[in-house]
Amino acid sequence: MKTFNLSRIFRLIMYYFISNNKTVKILLIIILPEFCVANNKYNAMLYGDGRHDDTEAIQSLLDSKTSHVKLPIPKCKYIISKPLKIYSNQELLLDRYTTIYLADSSNCNMLKSADSLNVNISIRGGIWDCNNKGQLPNPLFIKHSKSPDFDGIGMYFKNLIHFTISDLTIKDT
C-alpha cells in the first residue's frame, strides 16, 4: 500500500492485489475534511463545507487568545450558529472571499466582543453573511418571545479602544 499526500483535502491510496499472477491496481480516493483543528478546546473539526456547524472550532481558535487568528480558505463557507466572541489584543483574519454564514434560525449576532473593556481588536477580510431571511423578522418592529436577546444586529462591540475593521463585506443584515 502506498499513500500519497496530494493536498490537505484528498488522500490517495493505491492498493495492489495479485490475482492469477496479474497485478490489479485499485485506486481509492478518500475525501477528508479540509482542515482539522487539533489543538483546540473542543477538538472540534473546522469543516468549511457549508453544511457542518463550524462555530465551536472557530470559537476555540479565538479562545486560545492567540494574537492573530487566520481562518484557512474553506471549500465552501463556514457556518456558525452562535455568536463568535473575540478578545482583546486579537486580530481575526479572513481571505477576501471567505464567507462566514449565520445558520438558519440562529437569531443572534455573528461576532461580539468578549471582554468588559476591549482593547486592540481587529477584524479583517471575509464576507459576513447574516442570512437575514433565515432569521426572525427585525425585532425593532416585532418583539420575539422565542428569542428575547435577538437584536437583529450582525456584529456587536462595546467599550472599545483601538478597534479596526477593514476589507470585509457584511451582507443580508
Q: Domain extents for the chain?
A: 1-32, 35-171
Q: Is 145 exposed, middle or buried (0-12, 13-18, 19+ CB in 10 A)?
A: exposed
pTM (predicted TM-score) = 0.72
CB atoms within 10 A of CB 77: 20
pLDDT in tens, 60-97: 999 999 999 999 999 999 999 999 999 999 999 999 99
